[in-house]
Structure 1
Amino acid sequence: MAKTSEEILRVSHLDAGYGHVKVIRDANLSVAAGEVVGLVGRNGAGKTTFLSSLIGMLPSSRGSIQLCGQELAGLPSHERVRQGLVISPSGGRLFKSLTVEENLLLGIASATPADLEPVLALFPELQKLRGRYAGKLSGGERQMVAIGRALVLKPRLLLLDEPSEGLAPIVVLRVAEAIKSLQQTGIAMLVAEQNLKFTDAVCNRWFQIDKGAISPVASSP
């Protein structure tokens, strides 16, 4: 896909944390249209905290979060989702007592099975699982459903938190293929990962996070 300079996400001088404990410090990061950007770091480096601050699950104390030029800082999470910022959380968190189809359609009040067509095209494995309860899925199947649930919301920017975490190597490859396919549709993505091989396979460029500080990586991790 040809690169574009159109900016989807611009994060500037962002501080965020829990109460008086500052975890994210003066963060600056950008994602362009059609780009897959990695945020790499070890466990506890601040990856999930940063994504939580972007989506509004954790309030920021300073800085700017702009999606397609619109300021999101200060907006509640549902308004950020409405603007096109959507997250697929780590661990493929689903409602275990609901079926795969119910989980996929959960985020849209007026959703119909037709809304699942793009998801089933990306993950045809889910077609036969539509009526299965989420609590009976494997880790890889849960991750596919979690990503699919985010896609039903038609994101401008998709945040992926540790999409390879806890998955068998063959499933990690399958998720990597899905991310590459999504990029071809023009969806921009920010991928938080500690798996450097996975990041190298799916991302155009990277940022490193360490103790809440984010810095660009000049070359492959």
Structure 2
Amino acid sequence: MAKTSDEVLAVMAMDAGYGHVKVIRDANLSVRAGEVVGLVGRNGAGKTTFINAVSGLVKASAGAVVVNGHDVAGMAAHKRVAAGLAIVPSGGRLFRSLTVEENLSIGVKGATASQLESVYALFPEMRAFRARYAGKLSGGERQMVAISRALLLQPRLLLLDEPSEGLAPIVVLRLAEVIKSLCLRGIGILLAEQNVKFTDLVCDRWYGIEKGDIAPVDAALGQGGGRVVRVAAAH
């Protein structure tokens, strides 16, 4: 995989898994600045393992993970944040006993008023429940907070794991709007999804993953009967 100057992520020949169990095999994937790239696969295909290997939550056993020009494959997860990476895990994983604003502040060790204002501008809806405990939020509200917390880190690369899971259709459309607006800021986004319709709505390119194997995938997944085919462009 050739690295270009606007690439915020280049994964090359990466293996990853748990102990002696290899889940991801010889994976190659790239994301450019201002681009949304989808990683599409069924439940259990290896999407979360791939996302976690890129973020450092799972150790890659082989290959390279280059974030903003730096090979971070040997770095701890918190050091990858300094390289410009942020992750929104499946379900958001907020601190349920803290308020929305406390969850936001703890993510950056004390967010400033101007930083908080930047995410409230992106999600004006959050102003109404900023003092509510995270455990009382709906799925859509939790996702807003989780994305906002990641954005306070000012990433160049944003990893989203199953962002549309469990959300009402109207919330999914709102999420799509936000993702597209983030691309206009130059943020590169990699999202792992089962929801093909949502992926088609927001992504510039797709990769398919099946049993840990990754390849570019046709935009109209149904045209290939769900098979992974080597067509890189999604639109």
- On whether the aligned pair clears a TM of 0.5, the verdict is yes
> How far apart, CA to CA, are the structure 2 residues paired with 1:141 and 1:169?
14
Cα displacement (A) at 1:95? 0.2
Query: Mind listing any 5+ residue stretches in structure 1 that lack a counterpart?
Result: none
| Partner SS, residue 116 of structure 2 | helix
Amino acid at match of 2:107: G
Partner of 1:33: 33
**What is the number of equivalent residue pairs in this alignment?**
218
> How far apart, CA to CA, are the structure 1 residues paired with 2:168 and 2:219?
27
Partner of 2:126: 126
> How far apart, CA to CA, are the structure 2 residues paired with 1:68 and 1:81?
11
Kindly provide the CA deviation profile for residues 48-91 of structure 1, in whole angstroms up to 9, marking residues without a partner as x: 00000011111010000001211100100000011111100111
8 A Cα contact 1:9 1:30, kept in partner: yes
Q: Does 1:215 align with 2:215?
A: yes
Amino acid at match of 1:76: A
Amino acid at match of 1:44: G
Cα displacement (A) at 1:118? 1.9
| Partner SS, residue 121 of structure 1 | helix
Cα displacement (A) at 1:6? 1.5
After TM superposition, the structure 1 = structure 2 runs for residues 79-118 of structure 1, keeping only pairs within 5 Å, are 79-118=79-118
Identity %: 67
Q: Does 1:67 align with 2:67?
A: yes
User: Please, what TM-score do these two structures have when normalized by structure 1?
Assistant: 0.96
> How far apart, CA to CA, are the structure 2 residues paired with 1:89 and 1:33?
21
Larger CA deviation: 10-19 vs 101-110: 101-110
Q: Does 1:42 align with 2:46?
A: no
Cα displacement (A) at 1:110? 4.1
Alpha-carbon RMSD across the aligned residues, in angstroms, is 1.2
| Partner SS, residue 176 of structure 1 | helix
Partner of 2:77: 77
Kindly provide the CA deviation profile for residues 145-185 of structure 1, in whole angstroms up to 9, marking residues without a partner as x: 01110000000100000000001111111111111111111
Partner of 2:199: 199
> How far apart, CA to CA, are the structure 2 residues paired with 1:61 and 1:131?
43
8 A Cα contact 1:205 1:220, kept in partner: no
Partner of 2:22: 22
> How far apart, CA to CA, are the structure 2 residues paired with 1:163 and 1:21?
26
Cα displacement (A) at 1:106? 1.4
| Partner SS, residue 92 of structure 1 | coil
| Partner SS, residue 177 of structure 2 | helix
| Partner SS, residue 166 of structure 1 | coil
Larger CA deviation: 127-136 vs 114-123: 114-123
Amino acid at match of 1:41: G
Query: Mind listing any 5+ residue stretches in structure 2 that lack a counterpart?
Result: 222-235
Partner of 1:58: 58
Amino acid at match of 2:14: L
Instruction: Evaluate the alpha carbon distance shift between residue 32 and residue 46 of structure 1 in structure 2; reply closer, same or farther with a 3 A threshold.
Output: same
> How far apart, CA to CA, are the structure 2 residues paired with 1:154 and 1:105?
14
> How far apart, CA to CA, are the structure 1 residues paired with 2:140 and 2:93?
12
Report runs of 4+ in structure 1 exceeding 2 Å deviation: 218-221
Partner of 1:156: 156
Amino acid at match of 1:28: N
> How far apart, CA to CA, are the structure 2 residues paired with 1:111 and 1:148?
11
User: Please, what TM-score do these two structures have when normalized by structure 2?
Assistant: 0.90
